[in-house]
Amino acid sequence: MDANPILAEVVRGNWVENRHRGAFIVVDAEGAVIASGGDVERPVFPRSAIKSMQALAIFDRHALDRFHHSAEELALACASHHGEDEHVSGVAQFLDRMGLSVADLECGAHMPTNGKAREALRAVGADPSALHNNCSGKHSGMLSVALAMGVPTAGYVTREHDVQKAVRAAVEYVIGEDLTEDRCGTDGCSIPTWAAPLRTWALGFARMATGRGLDAGHAAGAQKLFDAATSHPHLVAGTGHLDTLVMEAFKGRVMQKGGAEGVQCGAIRDKGWGYALKCDDGNMAASHAMVAALLTKYADPDDAQKAVLEQFARQATKNVRGAVVGELRAVGV
């Protein structure tokens, strides 16, 4: 296997300390390659980067017709949220509106991603609940699919459950490829994750951004999801996070979503392009630098947008006393 190119490096003083390799691709909805680097045919787990794609099952299975999800609920269904008040209360209401509760979530509990939210929990000596799990909005969306399908919600996270079959079918439809059992794993929140070539994830995002290559129902669903996410960027991630800041800055032009282990996917909506990248070693900060460089180069940022991207394309490294001793920076995108 050929090595992917170095797409980010960490400098300390005047010497490179770390190197992060990866692959990236930008494509249009017909699959024409705008730019790429590295092995874009290697199947990668998209993890949380394709939550918006998974959420298409809400439309496929007529959950929207039954529950009339608000834009906020759709944004939460696409989210890796930070467990801040807005996220926790949003998901709690989403569940309540369906006659469900936190007890129906099968994602497990973890401490909020947001530091202040963690401190607030610690201050009152409370344990986190499944509502704080960054995936609780996605799981609520999946529960709406179960209810709309009239199947038991219990076990909705398993590969064999009708909900996950619906999610898998929606993703396969959008990327135009089968997801296969020989490259399947379990995600952090217990649902299946399927590896597919990086190229196909970018293509799926281009299709969702344009509706091209999709039937009218999927095209409309995709637009609703991207509109929801890009108009509620704080619900999709949280305070200070790249996804939130980028979507705020681009005011609807860019749908951006990270996934665990260095995956970044999204769409430059006005150009009709989808993109996907994966840092080979799974480093999230490096993947942030890479996607910031990609958007700087291909999303025609204005000065304000450039300034937001620059925060991530070059990240200062500080020592214990707070002095800047180096930086993580994108190279080669």
Report phi then psi at 178, rounded to 5. -75, 140
137 binds a second copy (CB under 8 A): no
CA angle, 151 as apex, 79 and 235 as ends, to 5°? 10
Pick the stretch among 143-151, 183-191, 224-232, 236-244 that binds a second copy (CB under 8 A): 183-191
Pick the stretch among 24-32, 55-63, 107-115, 212-220 that binds a second copy (CB under 8 A): 107-115
127 binds a second copy (CB under 8 A): no
Selected binder of a second copy within 23, 27, 44, 117 (CB under 8 A): 44
| Closest distance of CB 36 from a second copy, Å | 18
C-alpha neighbours within 13 Å on the C-beta side of residue 168:
20
Give the x/- contact pattern for a second copy in 283-312, rule: CB under 8 A. Answer: x--x--------------------------
> 106 vs 243, which CB is nearer to a second copy?
106
124 binds a second copy (CB under 8 A): no
Pick the stretch among 70-78, 101-109, 171-179, 295-303 that binds a second copy (CB under 8 A): 101-109
184 binds a second copy (CB under 8 A): yes
190 binds a second copy (CB under 8 A): yes
State the amino acid at position 79 in one-letter form. Answer: A
185 binds a second copy (CB under 8 A): yes
> 28 vs 106, which CB is nearer to a second copy?
106
> 210 vs 315, which CB is nearer to a second copy?
315
From CA 311, how far away is CA 241, in angstroms rounded? 11
Interacting residue ranges for a second copy, rule: CB under 8 A: 3, 10, 12-15, 17-21, 43-45, 106-110, 122, 133, 182-190, 193, 195, 261-262, 280-283, 286, 319-323, 325-326
